[in-house]
Amino acid sequence: MSEDRSEEPKPRRRQARGERRIAQLLQAAANVFCANGYTASSTNAIAREAHVSPGTLYQYFPNKEAIAIELGERLLHEMREAHGQAFVPENLALPLPRLLDAVVDPMIEFNCANPVFLALMHGSEVPGRIAEEHDALHASLLARVQEVIAHYAPGLPGPDRARVADMTFATFKGGLDLVLAAPEGPERDATIAELKTLLLRYLAPLTDEAAPASPR
């Protein structure tokens, strides 16, 4: 609050306030989106949750969609910064079960801490048509999965790899729903373990060159 006079305090202050407001609004949006889903959330409700007037909200975001987009981007960055090391080369060298731990655990942790993330991924709730807004979020994560798969199953042709990545990701999302729905505690832990088992069983044959890749 007191001005440090050897620096540029005015703009700093202003921007700091603006940033705080934005964060506050995004947090409020996260709460409201979680509670009602994106479509059913109103900008007025978000403003109310943030204890600001609707006008204030619109000073920072041009419309509802922009809030979701910004929220998604922030979450993505946050996730990368917090758990980005999951995809470092060292981890890629791990055996699959360990890699799954390294990738899935922080991901789940992050989603437990930020349940909006899933809410945004479920997006505009229209199946078979993913809203552009959430596309980026989705695409970015999918790319990660593809990388890992490419590393583990280098022999897999591109289209197959894409399909496996899609399926892996879809499965993970489905499992994540379950994890978030489970009450925190042993039940949730067991669900997490089960999800890892599922992914492991699915992906192990891809990397296991000796074994017949698929029993079909």
Partner DNA sequence: GATGAATGAGGATTCATTCAT
Partner DNA sequence: TATGAATGAATCCTCATTCAT
User: Of the listed pieces 61-69, 85-93, 159-167, 202-210, which binds DNA according to CB under 7 A?
Assistant: 61-69
Least distance to DNA, CB of residue 204, Å: 45
Among 55, 157, 158, 159, binds DNA (CB under 7 A): 55
Least distance to its own copies, CB of residue 10, Å: 13
Among 84, 154, 155, 174, binds its own copies (CB under 8 A): 174
Residues in contact with its own copies, shown as a per-residue x/- string from 24 to 63 under the rule CB under 8 A: ----------xxxxxxx-----------------------
CA angle, 103 as apex, 97 and 106 as ends, to 5°?
125
**Residue whose C-alpha is closest to residue 60's, from 31, 19, 120:** 19
Residues 22-41 binding DNA (CB under 7 A) are: 40-41
Cα-to-chain-centroid distance, residue 179: 14
**How far apart, in whole angstroms, are the C-alpha atoms of residue 150 and residue 188?**
30
Among 128, 157, 185, 212, binds its own copies (CB under 8 A): 128
Least distance to DNA, CB of residue 56, Å: 4
**Residues in contact with DNA by the rule CB under 7 A:** 13-14, 17-18, 21, 40-45, 52-60, 62-64
